[in-house]
Amino acid sequence: MKKSKKRVIENIQILDFAAEGKCIVKDDGEVIFVEGSNVCPGDEVKLLVSKTKKNFSEGRILAINKYSSDRIEPFCEHFGVCGGCKWQHIPYEKQLEQKQKQVYDQLTRIGKVKLPAFTPILGSESTKFYRNKLEYTFSNSRWLTAEEVASGDEISKDALGFHIPKRFEKVLPIKKCFLQGDPSNAIRDFFTDYAHQSGLPFYDHVVHKGFFRNVMIRTTSTGEVMVVLQVADDSQENIKAVLDKFIEKFPKTTSLNYFINQKRNDSYFDLEPVNYYGLPYITEEMEGLKFRIGVKSFYQTNSDQAYNLYKIVRDFAQISDNDLVYDLYTGTGTIANFVAKKAKKVVGIEYIDAAVDDAKINSEINDIHNTSFFAGDMAKIFTDDFITQNGKPDIVIVDPPRAGMDRPVCELLLKISPKRIVYVSCNPATQARDIEILSAKYEVEKINPVDMFPHTFHVENVASLVLKD
């Protein structure tokens, strides 16, 4: 039943979660989606119904009248303001249940293909300090919390912390972040203190002036630490002063680097990093395999869960000695190198040149000689000609970005018909769409969702597809 008016509903219960962190409310049969990261099913809220579409409406929560009994106490003092771990108020078991359900719903509603029983979602053993990479931003436009505004105190406008969602110039200063283990918090505090004491300006994101812009911290399970400072001017004296002081305080840092960024955006992909101290990379390890991670390299941000994810992929792929394996969207070749020992040969394809260089280095340093990597846009490079030159794969592993695979990629997969496709996805909606296309020749054999990001609504899913008889 559809009502067509914008209206306020004084008190209504949040029914359930939906995809992408939204929640569902039902008013007399009308389905209303609301931005729901700060609510919990069972909460009673005051709601503005703002848009009515053909099959559903959209709304905005104006106030929470009553908390659900399912809620738990968030562990971080920045909860509710920070864009990070938005599901801290939901018990972890419920988060997992919800993620599993999301995968199921998307695969059945969008994909409409026959599904096997799911292997229950694999939760992350660590639900705190699970990330190996964080980026903090300097800003001269600090976000003030409601209490700070009310206090009337004189507070510095400078901050080092995380961007406030949808307010790019505003930064929330972070006191303690539960996402990355030691020495991440201490490193951030060093830069906050140093920047304040030095008098060098925190970056102004509106007029694009200042000195300190951004700091990235990377850690590994082997204890290595990489720090990358981004500054806006090339004053060697100022750069040297801060980095020397940093090394004095954190002598165990294995890789200290900086960027001089005079562009209007923080992205460093088109900049050259300068290695100041230690090596220009850190090295992660997995089952004795080494993965070299450069300043600009991609690496899965939850290392422990990445290992679990790769084991599921390897298990689902059932590779034997004679198999030619393709790893599409290979990134820095982590999966390709991880499964190489089992295969006759692995061919990886990836968009970013630098990632392909990393993938090759990762084969080299591990003495892996049966891989080859190619750079290019998948739809352009993964073609009939490519197959003629590199051989018809027996098994294909794909791990595309959120947008999923381009149609021609799915069509070529159907045409060359490998006996098995293992599809790793960070977006079950596009995975469902692609699986439906592939279902012309494939059936879904196994499904195993994995939680890489506790306290967020993000979910990863692995599906294996086998060629129908």
Total residues found in the chain within this entry: 469
Which one among 168, 307, 351, 374 touches ligand SAH, defined by CB under 6 A? 351
Which one among 177, 228, 289, 378 touches ligand SAH, defined by CB under 6 A? 378
Residue 20 CB, nearest approach to ligand SAH (Å)? 19
Residue 281 CB, nearest approach to ligand SAH (Å)? 15
Residue 465 CB, nearest approach to ligand SAH (Å)? 17
Closest to ligand SAH by CB, 223 vs 401, is: 401
State how beta strands 371-375 and 345-350 pair: parallel
**300 annotated ligand binder:** yes
- Apex 106 CA angle, 104 and 109, nearest 5: 100
Closest to ligand SAH by CB, 52 vs 431, is: 431
Closest to ligand SAH by CB, 350 vs 451, is: 350
Determine if 325 is a binding residue for ligand SAH (CB under 6 A). Answer: no
- 118 and 109 Cβ atoms separated by less than 8 Å: no
Spell out a b/e string for 255-274, using b for 16 or more CB atoms within 10 Å of the CB, else e.
Answer: bbbbbbbeeeebebeeeebb
Determine if 452 is a binding residue for ligand SAH (CB under 6 A). Answer: no
Residue 346 CB, nearest approach to ligand SAH (Å)? 12
Residue 437 to residue 429: CA distance in whole angstroms:
13
Q: Which residues are 382's β-sheet partners?
A: none
Q: Return the number of other C-beta atoms located less than 10 Å from residue 403's C-beta.
A: 8
Chain center to CA of 6: 35
**Could you tell me the two tokens for 226?**
């990489």
Which one among 203, 329, 373, 453 touches ligand SAH, defined by CB under 6 A? 329
Determine if 355 is a binding residue for ligand SAH (CB under 6 A). Answer: yes
Residue 247 CB, nearest approach to ligand SAH (Å)? 30
Determine if 334 is a binding residue for ligand SAH (CB under 6 A). Answer: yes
Closest to ligand SAH by CB, 331 vs 454, is: 331
Determine if 129 is a binding residue for ligand SAH (CB under 6 A). Answer: no
**182 annotated ligand binder:** no
Determine if 399 is a binding residue for ligand SAH (CB under 6 A). Answer: yes
How many alpha carbons lie under 13 Å from residue 258 in its C-beta half-sphere? 24
**197 annotated ligand binder:** no
Closest to ligand SAH by CB, 277 vs 298, is: 298
Our answer to whether residue 410 is catalytic in this structure is no
- 164 and 215 Cβ atoms separated by less than 8 Å: no
- 305 and 130 Cβ atoms separated by less than 8 Å: yes
Residue 245 CB, nearest approach to ligand SAH (Å)? 34
Residue 127 CB, nearest approach to ligand SAH (Å)? 21
Span of 12-20, 81-89, 104-112, 326-334 interacting with ligand SAH by CB under 6 A? 326-334
List all residues 6 or more positions away from 146 whose beta carbon is below 8 Å from its beta carbon.
none
Residue 351 CB, nearest approach to ligand SAH (Å)? 3
Q: Give, to the nearest 10 degrees, the angle between helix 428-438 and helix 92-106.
A: 30
Closest to ligand SAH by CB, 144 vs 463, is: 463
Closest to ligand SAH by CB, 66 vs 402, is: 402
Determine if 308 is a binding residue for ligand SAH (CB under 6 A). Answer: no
Which one among 350, 358, 451, 460 touches ligand SAH, defined by CB under 6 A? 350
Q: Which of 23, 82, 410, 426 is catalytic?
A: 426
Residue 280 to residue 284: CA distance in whole angstroms:
14
**353 annotated ligand binder:** no
- Apex 112 CA angle, 111 and 116, nearest 5: 90
Determine if 401 is a binding residue for ligand SAH (CB under 6 A). Answer: yes
Identify residues 403-442 at the interface with ligand SAH (CB under 6 A): none
List all residues 6 or more positions away from 148 whose beta carbon is below 8 Å from its beta carbon.
155
Closest to ligand SAH by CB, 231 vs 462, is: 462
User: Which residue numbers are catalytic?
Assistant: 426
Site residues for ligand SAH per CB under 6 A: 298, 300, 329-332, 334-335, 350-352, 355, 377-378, 399-401
List, as residue ranges, the binding site for S-adenosyl-L-methionine: 300, 329, 350, 399
